[in-house]
Amino acid sequence: MRTLNALVSRYWWTIVLRGCVAALFGLVAFLWPGATVAGLVLLFGVYSLVDGIAGVIIGIKNFGERDRWWATLIGGIVSLGAGLVALVLPGLTAVTLLTLIGLWAIARGVMDIAAAIRLRHVIDGEWLLALGGAMSIVVGLLVVIFPGAGALALAWWIGAYAMVLGVMLIALGFRLRAFGKRVAA
């Protein structure tokens, strides 16, 4: 059975990748705020699929080797489901799309906070993941509560959220890499 220490030091790059994709997604949302809802659906769907695939792969690889492998798998499935719905049904109304994005952000935030709690005894800097999770929950709640906000405001909200979350995940990933090097030494 692999230890949590070995897992976080081995898969640090997946967190950096997730952060890079989130930051890129956020940048695109800021640069082209007038994009159509279909464009936003496509961007969200692709991001969510990449995030979900990473979560599912890690969850499956850790089956039976880690107590909470299922938490990573569930987070990945939630992201995959959100991405597939966004790509398969692009004609969703703006309110439905906003609600889907908001619920996804809430669920993803809860899973990130749960992961940070597990990591608090293993690494320094787990608060970055917890802070990102809390931010995901707040943004998700705002999107669910105020679905009638304009497309421009939505693009900026999601863009800011994705860029800040991306930077925090990249920082966490490199902290995990450094932790892995310290453990190996």
Q: If pLDDT is split at 50, 70 and 90, which confidence band does 21 have?
A: very high
- Residue 121's pLDDT is 82
Q: What average pLDDT does this structure show over 157-182?
A: 87
User: Which tokens is 118 given?
Assistant: 């597990």
- Residue 145's pLDDT is 85
Q: If pLDDT is split at 50, 70 and 90, which confidence band does 53 have?
A: very high
Beta carbons of 162 and 22 less than 8 angstroms apart: yes
Q: What average pLDDT does this structure show over 91-120?
A: 83
Q: What average pLDDT does this structure show over 156-185?
A: 85
Rounded to two decimals, the pTM is 0.49
> Which residues contact residue 91 at a Cβ distance below 8 angstroms, ignoring those fewer than 6 apart?
none
Q: What average pLDDT does this structure show over 76-103?
A: 80
Domain residue spans in the chain?
A: 4-184
CA-nearest of 68, 41, 19 to 155 is 41
List phi, psi (to 5°) of 75. -60, -40
Domain 4-184 has CATH 1.25.40: yes
Query: Above 90 in pLDDT, residue 80?
Result: yes
